[in-house]
Amino acid sequence: MWWKPKGGVSAIPKMRKKSDLPTKTCLACGLPFTWRKKWERDWDNVKYCSDRCRSGKGTKNVLK
């Protein structure tokens, strides 16, 4: 016979909160940003929150 847990299974539902996603700080604007789907393959290399920051345009603190 199979043993089945009755009714209220205390397993945590597989719902991911956004707060569970990893975050980084943008090197250009200094603001924290959250993991995005489009970065899933390249997260280790992501250093900027946006293409604008990556290209160094649109921010005041251009450090060279």
Q: Report the interface residues with Zn ion, using CB under 5 A.
A: 26, 28-29, 49, 53
In terms of CB distance, is 26 or 46 closer to Zn ion? 26
Quote the CA–CA distance of 12 and 27 in Å, as a whole number.
Answer: 36
**Nearest distance in Å: CB 19, Zn ion:** 20
In terms of CB distance, is 7 or 36 closer to Zn ion? 36
Cα torsion angle, 22, 27, 33, 34, sign: negative
Residue 38 DSSP one-character state: G
In terms of CB distance, is 5 or 22 closer to Zn ion? 22
